[in-house]
Amino acid sequence: MSTPDEWTPPEGSWASSAARRRNMQAIRSRDTKPERLIRRLVHANGLRYRVAARPLPDLRRTADMVFRPAKVAVFIDGCYWHGCPEHYVSPKTNPGYWSEKVARNIARDRDTDEQLSAAGWLVLRFWEHQSSDACALSIISAVRERRDDLLG
């Protein structure tokens, strides 16, 4: 067994070192700090939702918050992983791989938006750097409006 200092990435690997690999694997895909804060604010206003759920059963993608009766799917996108126009900076190590990965993420996000919209869902996307209070207010307003429209 090799030590981390001796580890060399396999050909075509996304990790430049064992330490980088550990750091990248430790990044959360759900329950991030912005998600938890927004969920807490929305919940405090009496709205209930599903966490990390599929809005459509046949679509293998999950939204951060799903309000099924109102058909609202909420995504809180990380600035790096989803290519925030304000904050995304291509890494110096293995930039080709990471830029392509982020471009694929962006394309998948647009495809998800289109598929959900076509199925009658309202898609709300927020960046992790946006104000949690403002995001929560937008979510609360949209869900209540959609819920009132559906219930007549």
Residue 121: inside a domain: yes
User: What residue ranges in 68-121 does DSSP mark as E strands?
Assistant: 72-77
Residue 19: inside a domain: no
Contacts of 10 (CB under 8 A, 6+ apart): none
Residue 101: inside a domain: yes
83-107: b (≥16 Cβ within 10 Å) or e? bbeeebeeeeebeeebeeebeebee
Report the chain's mean pLDDT, rounded to a whole number: 87
The model's pLDDT over 85-101, given as tens digits with 9 standing for 90+, comes to 999 888 888 888 889 99
Tell me which range, 17-26, 75-84, 130-139, is most confidently predicted by mean pLDDT: 130-139
Report how far residue 114's alpha carbon sits from residue 131's, in angstroms, rounded to the nearest whole number: 26
Q: How many residues comprise the chain?
A: 152
- Number of folded domains in the chain? 1
Provide the domain limits for residue 121: 29-151
Residue 23: inside a domain: no
Residue 4: inside a domain: no
For the cut 60, the answer to whether the pLDDT of residue 13 exceeds it is no
Report how far residue 98's alpha carbon sits from residue 103's, in angstroms, rounded to the nearest whole number: 8
For the cut 50, the answer to whether the pLDDT of residue 4 exceeds it is no
Residue 18: inside a domain: no
For the cut 50, the answer to whether the pLDDT of residue 2 exceeds it is no
Residue 146: inside a domain: yes
The model's pLDDT over 97-116, given as tens digits with 9 standing for 90+, comes to 889 999 999 999 999 999 99
For the cut 90, the answer to whether the pLDDT of residue 136 exceeds it is yes
Residue 69: inside a domain: yes
Q: Does residue 34 or residue 30 have the better pLDDT?
A: 34
Provide the CATH number for the domain around residue 58. Answer: 3.40.960.10
**Would the pTM of this model clear 0.75, i.e. be above it?**
yes
